[in-house]
């Protein structure tokens, strides 16, 4: 989420890369063990983050399908082969419709709805009270003055208790994401990349609690901008060297057109180098260029499948003005129908 500005406010969001392509190769699929390319293609996950959905509905927003029929958003997304939903959760958020909500109780309620729709859940911890991204990694306000030892206890308690809220709601996530675009670390300065032992300690606590509550759910770390390979490898090298544990490498890329082949090559390199399958957990593009976004999404899906990556998620396709001024959604504010962008999944 490093360059997005969904509301025109304080969160920077995607300066989208300009320029079309595919990737080649064959690596395997699996949480820690690589399998075959055919399996990867068959199991490829198409997903969307729709964390704004409950807040938009509360304000009266609705969605129509491509034929102009008003329907439940999740059912419309399934028309595009989307089988998974990503939901973020914050520690002590405000009540701001676009920049708040998403506490664990609200997230659990939405997770129940996702599961009832027959879709898989990717649950993402930001470890903050609002947006954390490649450029911003602020701890929750309640943790800000803690020592490392105190924060380690808080992390263990928070992740364990949060996941038990999800479990008590009858939901089992397919994946748990510990951190959000944490290229520079988490809960800075305590868990910054410049303090790699503490960074790894905090994330390993989150990993351990995730496995304690949901032993079979793979755990992701999440890095932004794979077009800048060094920014990803700096984190992963430091994390690995300090005993960091993870099962899948989550990557954000909003690349478009001619930039996609190089990004795919870097994604494949990351997967090969660290022996963990990658998942493209965030994608989007200019909503005034839907065919470009469609074609670039198709290129990502084709290329990631080819080297055995796990899937691709569109970030908040359902958003539209005036709820948000974020410019990389996939819905038309006038017609309330999806744009051509989502056709990239078909």
The C-alpha atoms of residue 168 and residue 171 are separated, in whole angstroms, by 7
Share of the chain above pLDDT 70, in %: 88
* Per-residue b or e along 265-284, where b marks 16 or more CB atoms closer than 10 Å to that residue's CB: bbbbbbbeebebbbbbbbbb
Hey, how many other C-beta atoms are within 10 angstroms of the C-beta on 241?
Answer: 11
The C-alpha atoms of residue 133 and residue 217 are separated, in whole angstroms, by 23
Instruction: Identify the pLDDT of residue 42.
Output: 56
Is a pLDDT exceeding 70 seen at residue 220? yes
Instruction: Identify the pLDDT of residue 230.
Output: 97
Beta bridge partners of residue 251, listed in sequence order: 223, 280
Mean pLDDT, rounded, of the chain: 90
Q: pTM above the 0.85 mark? A: yes
DSSP 8-state code for residue 143: G
Is a pLDDT exceeding 70 seen at residue 182? yes
Q: How far is Cα of residue 163 from the mean position of the Cα atoms in its chain?
A: 17
Q: How far is Cα of residue 4 from the mean position of the Cα atoms in its chain?
A: 13
The model's pLDDT over 127-157, given as tens digits with 9 standing for 90+, comes to: 999 999 998 999 999 999 999 999 999 999 9
Is a pLDDT exceeding 50 seen at residue 158? yes
The model's pLDDT over 43-89, given as tens digits with 9 standing for 90+, comes to: 899 999 999 999 999 999 999 999 999 999 999 999 999 999 999 99
Is a pLDDT exceeding 50 seen at residue 123? yes
| N-terminal to C-terminal alpha carbon distance within the chain | 25
Share of the chain above pLDDT 90, in %: 86
The model's pLDDT over 243-296, given as tens digits with 9 standing for 90+, comes to: 999 999 999 999 999 999 999 999 999 999 999 999 999 999 999 999 999 999
Is a pLDDT exceeding 80 seen at residue 41? no
8-17, 110-119, 259-268: least confident range:
8-17
3-state helix, strand, coil split of the chain in percent (to 5) is: 35, 15, 50
> Alpha-carbon torsion 185, 191, 196, 200, what sign?
negative
């Amino acid at each position: 989420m490093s360059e997005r500005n969904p509301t025109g406010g304080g969160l920077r969001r995607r300066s989208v890369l300009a320029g079309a392509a595919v990737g080649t190769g064959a690596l395997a699929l699996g949480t820690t063990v690589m399998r075959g390319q055919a399996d990867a293609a068959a199991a490829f996950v198409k997903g969307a983050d729709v964390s704004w959905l409950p807040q938009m509905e509360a304000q009266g927003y609705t969605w129509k399908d491509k034929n102009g029929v008003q329907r439940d958003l999740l059912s419309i997304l399934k028309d595009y082969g989307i089988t998974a939903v990503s939901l973020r959760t914050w520690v002590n958020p405000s009540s701001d419709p676009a920049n708040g909500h998403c506490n664990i109780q609200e997230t659990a309620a939405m997770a129940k709805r996702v599961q009832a729709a027959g879709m898989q859940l990717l649950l993402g911890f930001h470890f903050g009270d609002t947006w954390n991204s490649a450029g911003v990694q602020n701890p929750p306000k309640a943790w800000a003055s803690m020592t490392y030892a105190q924060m380690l206890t808080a992390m263990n308690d928070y992740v364990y208790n949060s996941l038990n809220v999800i479990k008590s709601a009858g939901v089992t996530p397919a994946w748990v994401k510990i951190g959000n675009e944490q290229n520079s670390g988490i809960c800075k300065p305590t868990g910054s990349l410049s303090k790699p032992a503490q960074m790894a300690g905090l994330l390993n606590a989150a990993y351990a609690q995730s496995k304690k509550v949901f032993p079979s759910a793979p755990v992701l770390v999440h890095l932004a901008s794979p077009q800048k390979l060094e920014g990803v490898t700096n984190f992963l090298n430091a994390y690995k060297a300090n005993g960091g544990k993870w099962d899948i490498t989550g990557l954000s890329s909003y690349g478009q057109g001619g930039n996609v082949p190089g990004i795919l090559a870097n994604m494949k390199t990351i997967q090969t180098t660290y022996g963990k399958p990658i998942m493209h957990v965030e994608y989007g593009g200019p909503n005034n260029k839907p065919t470009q976004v469609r074609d670039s999404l198709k290129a990502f899906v084709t290329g990631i499948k080819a080297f055995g990556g796990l899937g691709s998620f569109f970030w908040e396709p359902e958003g539209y003005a005036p709820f948000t001024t974020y410019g990389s959604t996939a819905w038309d504010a006038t017609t309330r129908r999806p744009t051509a962008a989502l056709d990239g999944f078909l």
